[in-house]
Amino acid sequence: MMQLRSLSLCLAVAGSVYAEPPKAVPELAGLDRVYPSLDALYQDLHRNPELSKHEEKTAAKMAARLRELGFQVTEHVGGTGIVGVLRNGNGPTVLVRTDMDALPLKEKTGLPYASTVVTKNEAGEATPVMHACGHDIHMASWVGAAALLSQLKNSWQGTLVFVGQPAEETVSGAEAMVKDGLFTRFPKPDFVLGLHDTNFIPAGHVGLVSGPASAASNAVDITFFGRSGHGAAPHRAIDPIVMASGTVMALQTLVSRENNPFEAAVVTVGTFRSGTKRNIIPEEARLELTVRSYKPEVQKRLLAGIERIAKAQALSAGAPREPKVVVLAEEASEVVVNDPALIQRLSAPLKRAFADKVGPIEPTSGSEDFGVYGRVARVPGVQLRIGASDPVEFAKAKEKGTLPTGPHNDGFAPVREPTIRAGVSALTVSVLELLGKAPPRG
């Protein structure tokens, strides 16, 4: 329901496809000069992705770029995170965040710079890796904004804090950086900015979400315990696969029958693991879930319902013991809330740069840990949405009432130049709006 409403509104906002760069504004005059290096950086990052908490080479590349621009850079903050500080007189402090990690996914885009990386995951298993969420787009845009802002020091005064965050995909990197002294070792921000690409609007468009923007997320593991036996004699065993299967189906009623249809809620079973051979009934079956919500009371009800349903299925099957239900604290994220007043303030400069290619879109049921920065620092924050879809593909999808391929898909391929240009432009004009104006010199 939520996705369909979002799609219809986004299609209306993005009625005209991207055909030209953002409207010429003096502050963005240097973008043409720096873009070739950003394009090369993007392709390098896309070709060489790294998993969460292992972004060593990626972080080193980001640190080197900031140092070249005159930032004071500190590495290994909260693990592989980096912090770059650029002071330019008295004025506000603006934190600009990018994420750096990739996903355990085999790329199938067919791009000439596609990832062929295979590495070991936390369990020591070989896994392919892909930038399937656009963090490479985010990093290229972040570096581009840093480059333009370093060239525009006569136009602003204050302090820039550019944060390269690890482990966004495990929603743990922001908290790790905060715990490692982000707001005590470095200037505390007055504002927090970030961006995220999206397939909901074409490349070259900017989407604004006022208020709740991304859902709270919980990861839940359920392990069912049965009694092993021969597949030809199921009556002599207790089948955990049947318990788990019944749970998968029953969980759907938490949203369809127990949740207010006007309140967002998602319960998805992402993995189902059990068994070793077709004619053996196993002793255990394991489900891994992702749960999304916008309100604490909805979140509480969903988590309680998951445990209730799992235990009921086990009881009805005569299981030898209750299932083990674990809510993973390390993979929990909060709702990202874009400050409405800050959204309103940024709208004017963004519209000057993008004209009719900037407008409101609805929240996403995806989750992020960007909200940690504003909550802990107690300052307003905004995460902008940047269109990444090829305009031609977007137009075709619009005719069918669908969307182009989006993040967390092995075929996700942002159209890079207009997407990166829009990301650089949106961050740059937003930061300039928030920083103190430099007094006339000379």
pLDDT digits (tens, 9 = 90+) for 275-294: 999 999 999 999 999 999 99
- For position 6, what pLDDT does the model report? 39
Query: What is the C-alpha to C-alpha distance for residues 383 and 419, in angstroms, rounded to an integer?
Result: 16
Quick one: what percent of the chain has pLDDT higher than 90? Answer: 88
- For position 5, what pLDDT does the model report? 36
More confident residue, 233 or 23: 233
- For position 23, what pLDDT does the model report? 56
Tokens 């927090």 locate to 192
Q: Of 134, 295, 327, whose CA–CA distance to 220 is shortest?
A: 327
SS3 assignment, position 201: strand
Average pLDDT over residues 312-325: 98
- For position 122, what pLDDT does the model report? 87
Residues 6 or more apart in contact with residue 238 via CB below 8 angstroms: 226, 227, 317, 318, 319, 320
- For position 159, what pLDDT does the model report? 98
Query: What is the C-alpha to C-alpha distance for residues 276 and 272, in angstroms, rounded to an integer?
Result: 13
- For position 14, what pLDDT does the model report? 37
* Global confidence as pTM: 0.86
Average pLDDT, the chain: 93
Model confidence at 437, in pLDDT bands (50, 70, 90)? confident
The distance of Cα 232 from the centroid of its chain, to the nearest Å, equals 47
Which of 136-145, 224-233, 329-338 shows the lowest per-residue confidence on average (mean pLDDT)? 329-338
85 has pLDDT over 60? yes
Average pLDDT over residues 25-45: 96
Domains of the chain, first to last: 2-213+335-434 (3.40.630.10), 216-332 (3.30.70.360)
